[in-house]
Amino acid sequence: MHQRTLGRHLPSILLIAALVGGTAACAAAPAGAAPATARAAAAATTPAASATLGPTATSAPSSRPVVVESAAQQQIDLLLRLVEADPTDGEAQRDLGLALLQRVRETADPSLYALAEAAFLTARELRPDDPLVGIGIGAMQLGRHEFAEALDTAQATLDLAPGDPSARGIVIDALIELGRYEEAFAEAEALAASQPDLASLARLSYAHELRGDLPAALLAMERAAAAPGLAPENSAYVLALVGHLRTMTGDPTGAAAAYRQALALVPDHAPSLAGEGRLALAAGDLATARARFDRAAKVVPSPEYVVAHGETLELQGDAAAAEDQFELARALITLSRANGVVVDVDLALFEADHGDAATALDLAESAYAAAPTVRAADARAWALHRLGRHTEATESSTEALRLGSRDPLLLFHAGAITASLGREAQAREYLEAALEIDAGFAPAGAAEARRLLADLGS
């Protein structure tokens, strides 16, 4: 599991933010609108105050989640009252679906997808020509990693609303996650040029990052952070991404400032807490790193944060506590799969590092067959490496780097694989690059990279 989950799911996460915090404002009632419609639209566009645990059980008892008041949950409560009072209120059903997607974003609770889906399907029956319903369904499908379905939904929505920027955004996200990069990059550049707002600039940033142009990625994300009228939670999230990119461009001081700014807006903002954890890890401060990852995982019980916490515990020599965290991560991943989320790539990486390498390869092969992305190629490479099939692994690793990515995890994997083949100079180049870009990219990975470099040096 790998901290770039933050960036990998950036498009769909920010799409949901835009829908709830901005795009859904298209539904805000014009003069003379019905009162129920106006209330529903207002609820759907109320900014989320902070991350908090969802209303359903998403974690083992040992996780002891932090509970923070959530404006998003207040939106949901209001919208539930509206649809209970009038189940035929299609706008309220639609906006309930959007608010539930925001809640998934805050809590990492995949069980909420089923509730959102029910609301959207009802809304679609009541409002078949409403493009916002299609956009909501597409966002839900992105969240579940149903990328081919999301692409179909977005294209159908564009038939209803030609040129709609949110629908175009779903197309970009789906194309990227299907490995259709050139189409996605061209559309991302066109969308950002025609409508340079939070969502389009964030997608453009991600396109630059995938191609290894980190300065351009940072510039686009800083422009996104400067977009006017953002809700505090959305501003905090973009600032966390700015912090991540500042780290990768050699500015840890600037990264720390971005995380502090985000946490001033939203105390206990989980992505920013995790960002501080990675900075502490890079500085060799395992105690602070562990505390930050632990706090992030309690606020938002995501496998990403739970695994980082476990790996930090492992580095500190507490194997039993680390294994407890890995078991919790397994439970969270199982919960996601049970709620319809496709997690083959993330689960393959987790199994390769903390489980069974043969299972990891099966998952990676399945993911690659469905969508030949650079991350699927990397997961396949890493599973093959763990199985000792290093020559095959290097072929997949080369494919994973074909866009020019400077992702430190991909570079670390390439370095470890080439080191196993005795290609010392190339291995050293990859490993040094990974640590130079982000010395705290992952607790176990960064530690292994340093060990391999020490072995190569001797």
Mean per-residue pLDDT for 227-234? 78
Could you report the per-residue pLDDT of 338-351, keeping only the tens digit for each? 999 999 999 999 99
| Topology (CATH level 3) of domain 5-342 | 1.25.40
CA distance linking residue 201 with residue 333, whole number of Å: 30
Q: How many other CB atoms are found less than 10 A from the CB of residue 33?
A: 14
Q: Does position 230 have pLDDT exceeding 80, yes or no?
A: no
Could you report the per-residue pLDDT of 142-180, keeping only the tens digit for each? 999 999 999 999 999 999 999 999 999 999 999 999 999
CA distance linking residue 347 with residue 89, whole number of Å: 40
Q: How many other CB atoms are found less than 10 A from the CB of residue 287?
A: 10
Domain coordinates in residue numbering, the chain = 5-342, 349-457
Q: What is the pLDDT of residue 362?
A: 98
Residues in CB range of 454: below 8 A, 6 or more apart: none
Mean per-residue pLDDT for 58-86? 73
What's the token pair of residue 17? 């933010």
Mean per-residue pLDDT for 60-71? 53
Q: How many other CB atoms are found less than 10 A from the CB of residue 86?
A: 12
CA dihedral defined by 262, 267, 271, 274, rounded to 10 degrees? 110
Q: What is the pLDDT of residue 234?
A: 84
Domains 5-342 and 349-457 equal at CATH topology level: yes
CA distance linking residue 59 with residue 328, whole number of Å: 7
CB contact at 8 A, 271 and 283: no
CB contact at 8 A, 296 and 279: no
Q: What is the pLDDT of residue 218?
A: 98
CA distance linking residue 344 with residue 375, whole number of Å: 11
What's the token pair of residue 120? 């959207």
Q: How many other CB atoms are found less than 10 A from the CB of residue 176?
A: 26
32 pLDDT band (50/70/90 cuts)?
very low
Q: Does position 56 have pLDDT exceeding 60, yes or no?
A: no
Residues in CB range of 276: below 8 A, 6 or more apart: 256, 259, 288, 292
Q: Which CATH architecture has domain 349-457?
A: Alpha Horseshoe (1.25)
451 pLDDT band (50/70/90 cuts)?
very high
Q: What is the pLDDT of residue 44?
A: 30
* pLDDT, the chain, mean: 87
Closest CA relative to residue 244, chosen from 209, 287, 211: 209
Could you report the per-residue pLDDT of 408-443, keeping only the tens digit for each? 999 999 999 999 999 999 999 999 999 999 999 999
Q: What is the pLDDT of residue 93?
A: 97
CA distance linking residue 45 with residue 254, whole number of Å: 31
